[in-house]
């Protein structure tokens, strides 16, 4: 069976009687079915033109030969450049029965010939469905073999891509990840159709239009008086930016909030570590939980900081066993939420697909990205990548309903001003791009000198936000080594 010919034979007709309700209904079923299976034009040569015609209209039943010819003539300047048309096929026709034609004229002639073959054919819906499935399977196989061939070349010899040479295991892995993400974007899988993604989008926007408050759900409080008073909590769909200079414990504060979400508020938390990996983050959570598990009411054990746990330098076997017990409690206690790590490349073009796949596999209420400033990108600037990253992520989390915590850097001149104790306007303090402050719903600044960090003191600074009230700067104190924080007296 020529799948593409059958598909468009079920969609394109020379003429139809308006009284033929059964045929009209059959065409509508075929048209709608194709839209649920194919996102973009995956057809080639003549059929790529037919798909473009169909996708340009909501309902298409009749295309006359004159209308088709007019469309082809109007667009013939684009055919040579189209990646979906192999003009070499039509160059080979020249000199034979197409003598005297240009390759584009040969292509237009071929489109008309195919049209005349399919325009009077009636295709049942069941036959149409089988043809679509067959074509998609063939497309996937051809696409996969082609990309695997390219990946093999990258692995063994290297491939020049723009100014960059791709070579070796890591580049091969990233290339295949992007390639299959692109394939997933072209084809709508049966699982996606079953989940009712489009219905979810429509329902979400309907609810948020009627009342944003009705869609909000508390994910976690801060557990720090002034922040809870100003912001209430972190709610579903909200983006929270934690801005600080380098090495000012924004990662440790993020770990504190993630732990609180899991243990106190029973939420499902996903963590995407771009600065390091899960092996650098897990000790932070283990140290926090050791202190929480044993010392929330009475100081049973001296705290174990994250470096001690990471390097397995326990002061005694008793401490080793006690820490393993608290870690086991963190990951198995049914009264808590859950923790998962996303271990995937984070590229601005593909990270949303990675997040959606992670969410589909194991839904989460809170996502921590440490940190988005390290997102990978190609053919654009870092600033453009960050702008796209923040805006795209906000759109996705509003749709799926999870909150985010995003550690970010202050600009260098802001850090210098903070060191000098100057009064500064923090509205433009975000490093990399203004989107680090503009896009999030809530912004929090953190700052501490090395002496203050050693004393367990971190200044919390108000940054203008869309949500919440202004708060005066204050110090939160605690044991930074175990990611434990609480509020102190508001500064005067």
Q: Are residues 458 and 452 in contact, defined by beta-carbon separation less than 8 angstroms? A: yes
Helix, strand, coil shares of the chain, percent, nearest 5, are 55, 15, 35
CATH number for the segment(s) 208-490: 3.40.50.300
11 token code pair: 């969609």
397 token code pair: 């989390």
Q: From CA 323, how far away is CA 309, in angstroms rounded?
A: 8
R_g over Cα of the chain: 29
Residue 438: name the closest of 471, 463, 411 by CA.
463
> So what's the pLDDT on residue 458?
93
How far CA 47 is from CA of 52, 118, 293, 353, in Å, comes to 9, 11, 64, 28
Residue 339: HSE in the Cβ half-sphere, 13 Å Cα cutoff = 27
Residues in the chain, how many? 492
Q: Are residues 8 and 127 in contact, defined by beta-carbon separation less than 8 angstroms? A: no
> So what's the pLDDT on residue 430?
67
* In the chain, where the domains are located: 3-127, 135-197, 208-490
466 token code pair: 């869309």
> So what's the pLDDT on residue 188?
64
DSSP output for 271-293: EEESSS-HHHHHHHHHHHHHHHH
> So what's the pLDDT on residue 239?
96
How far CA 324 is from CA of 294, 330, 379, 427, in Å, comes to 12, 10, 46, 44
333 token code pair: 């206690």
> So what's the pLDDT on residue 212?
39
Backbone angles phi, psi at 483, to 5 degrees: 60, 45
Q: Are residues 283 and 485 in contact, defined by beta-carbon separation less than 8 angstroms? A: no
**Over its length of 492 residues, how does the chain's per-residue pLDDT go in tens digits?**
589 999 999 988 888 887 888 888 888 888 878 877 887 889 999 999 888 888 766 555 688 888 889 889 988 888 888 889 988 888 776 655 556 678 898 899 999 999 999 998 889 989 999 999 999 999 999 999 999 999 999 999 999 888 889 999 988 988 888 888 778 767 765 433 332 222 222 222 233 333 333 468 999 999 999 999 999 999 999 999 999 988 889 999 999 999 999 999 999 999 999 988 888 999 999 999 999 999 887 777 888 999 999 999 999 999 999 999 999 899 888 899 999 999 888 999 999 999 998 898 889 999 999 989 999 999 899 999 999 999 999 999 999 999 999 999 887 677 677 766 667 767 666 666 778 888 999 999 999 988 999 889 999 999 988 888 888 899 999 899 999 998 765 444
If phi over 0 gives left and psi between -120 and 50 gives alpha, with beta otherwise, what is residue 198?
alpha
Q: Are residues 404 and 358 in contact, defined by beta-carbon separation less than 8 angstroms? A: no
Q: From CA 109, how far away is CA 70, in angstroms rounded?
A: 12
Vertex 357, ends 356 and 363: CA angle to 5°? 75
Q: Are residues 472 and 437 in contact, defined by beta-carbon separation less than 8 angstroms? A: no
Q: What end-to-end distance do the CA atoms of the chain give, in Å? A: 80
Reported for 422-430, long-range contacts at CB under 8 A and 24+ positions apart, including other chains, are 426/243, 426/461, 426/462, 426/463, 426/464, 427/463, 427/464, 429/243, 429/463, 430/241, 430/243
> So what's the pLDDT on residue 1?
59
Q: From CA 135, how far away is CA 140, in angstroms rounded?
A: 9
Q: Are residues 239 and 335 in contact, defined by beta-carbon separation less than 8 angstroms? A: no
Distance of CA 363 to the CA centre of its chain: 14
> So what's the pLDDT on residue 427?
65
- The sheet carrying 442-447 orders its strands as 338-341, 268-273, 366-370, 403-409, 239-244, 442-447, 457-462, 474-477, 486-490
> So what's the pLDDT on residue 179?
85
> So what's the pLDDT on residue 59?
58
Q: Are residues 399 and 201 in contact, defined by beta-carbon separation less than 8 angstroms? A: yes
> So what's the pLDDT on residue 301?
84
> So what's the pLDDT on residue 195?
28
How much is the pTM?
Answer: 0.58
| CB-based contacts of 482, cutoff 8 Å, min separation 6 | 287, 288, 290, 291, 303, 304, 305, 306
Handedness of CA 95, 101, 103, 109 (dihedral sign): negative
332-350 burial, b for 16+ CB within 10 Å, e for fewer? eeeebbbbbbbebbbbbbb
């Amino acid at each position: 069976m020529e799948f593409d010919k059958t598909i468009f034979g079920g969609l394109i007709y020379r003429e139809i009687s308006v009284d033929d309700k059964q045929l009209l209904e059959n065409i509508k079923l075929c048209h709608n079915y194709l839209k649920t299976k194919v996102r973009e034009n995956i057809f080639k040569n003549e059929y790529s033109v037919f798909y473009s015609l169909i996708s340009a209209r909501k309902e298409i039943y009749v295309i006359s030969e004159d209308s088709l010819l007019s469309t082809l003539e109007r667009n013939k300047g684009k055919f040579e450049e189209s990646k979906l048309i192999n003009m070499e096929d039509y160059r080979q026709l020249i000199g034979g029965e197409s003598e005297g034609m240009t390759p584009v004229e040969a292509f237009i002639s071929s489109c008309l010939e195919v049209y005349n073959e399919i325009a009077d054919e009636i295709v049942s819906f069941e036959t149409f469905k089988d043809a679509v499935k067959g074509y998609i399977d063939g497309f996937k196989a051809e696409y996969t073999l082609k990309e695997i061939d390219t990946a093999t070349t990258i692995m063994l010899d290297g491939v020049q891509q723009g100014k960059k040479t791709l070579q070796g295991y890591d580049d091969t892995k990233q290339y295949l990840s992007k390639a299959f993400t692109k394939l997933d974007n072209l084809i709508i899988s049966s699982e996606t159709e079953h989940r009712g993604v489009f219905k979810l989008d429509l329902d979400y926007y309907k609810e948020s239009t009627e009342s944003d408050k009705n869609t909000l759900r508390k994910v976690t409080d801060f557990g720090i008086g002034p922040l809870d008073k100003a912001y209430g909590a972190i709610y579903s769909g909200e983006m929270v930016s934690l801005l600080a200079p380098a090495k000012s414990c924004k990662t440790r504060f993020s770990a504190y909030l993630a732990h609180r979400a899991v243990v106190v508020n029973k939420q499902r938390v996903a963590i995407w570590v771009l600065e390091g990996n899960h092996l650098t983050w897990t000790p932070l959570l283990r140290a926090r939980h050791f202190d929480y598990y044993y010392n929330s009411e009475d100081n049973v054990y001296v705290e174990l900081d994250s470096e001690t746990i990471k390097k397995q330098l326990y002061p005694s076997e008793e401490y080793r066993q006690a820490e393993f017990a608290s870690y086991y409690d963190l990951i198995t206690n049914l009264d808590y939420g859950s923790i998962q790590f996303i271990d995937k490349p984070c590229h601005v073009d593909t990270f949303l697909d990675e997040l959606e796949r992670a969410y589909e596999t194991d839904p989460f209420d809170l996502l921590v990205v440490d940190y988005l400033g390290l997102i990978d990108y190609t053919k654009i600037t870092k600033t453009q990548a960050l702008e796209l990253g923040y805006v795209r992520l906000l759109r996705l989390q509003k749709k799926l309903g999870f909150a985010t915590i995003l550690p970010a850097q202050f600009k260098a001149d802001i850090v210098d001003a903070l060191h000098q104790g100057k009064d500064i306007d923090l509205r433009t303090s975000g490093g990399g791009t203004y989107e680090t402050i503009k896009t999030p719903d809530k912004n929090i600044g953190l700052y501490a000198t090395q002496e203050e960090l050693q004393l367990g003191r971190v200044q919390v600074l108000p940054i203008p936000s869309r949500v919440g009230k202004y708060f005066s700067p204050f110090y939160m104190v605690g044991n930074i080594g175990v990611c434990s924080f609480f509020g102190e007296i508001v500064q005067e």
